[in-house]
Amino acid sequence: MPSHATAPARTLDSDFVRRLARFFPDSAPLRIPIRLSRVADDVHGNGKNGASQKTWRLLQETVIEFGTPQEALFLVSNPLEFADRVLIQSRDGSLSAEASIVAVQYHPQQTVVAARFLKPVPNWTVQ
């Protein structure tokens, strides 16, 4: 009786991200665990001089699978949309940067996204 092998789910997940990475010619494979937070503006005006202040709500932990000097590509199970603002933080604290979602690919129960950093993040891909 022939035996059948199945690829682990992680391999399929990486394939989804790899497909999006083809649209980013400078992308390189990475494996950086991150905490991903979504911006939630303070509607109560509790900031300095009553101005609105940016606050962050943890969305999930994930792994940056591919990156360029300006973008990070990863999977999320929570919905994100084009132009959403996120905060990307590595678990060791060496990366903490705001980004905007610039590409989205939907798959069953997960979404592949590319997030572009709002400010330059020097040498983050070699951390």
CA gap 35, 63 in Å, rounded: 8
Residue ranges covered by each domain of the chain: 30-126
Please count the other Cβ atoms lying within 10 Å of the Cβ belonging to residue 32.
Answer: 20
pTM check: above 0.75: yes
Q: What pLDDT shows up at residue 3?
A: 46
Which candidate, 53, 121, 54, places its Cα nearest to that of 90?
121
Q: Can you read off the two tokens belonging to residue 122? A: 């020097």
Matching CATH number, 30-126, of 3.40.50.2300, 2.40.10.10, 1.10.20.60, 2.40.10.220: 2.40.10.220
pLDDT of residue 12: 54
Note the helical H segments in the chain.
Answer: 9-21
Q: What is the pLDDT of residue 18?
A: 94
- What's the pLDDT score for residue 96? 95
State which residues of the chain have pLDDT below 50.
Answer: 1-10
Look-up of token digits 């132009």:
83
Tokens 């933080």: give the residue. 89
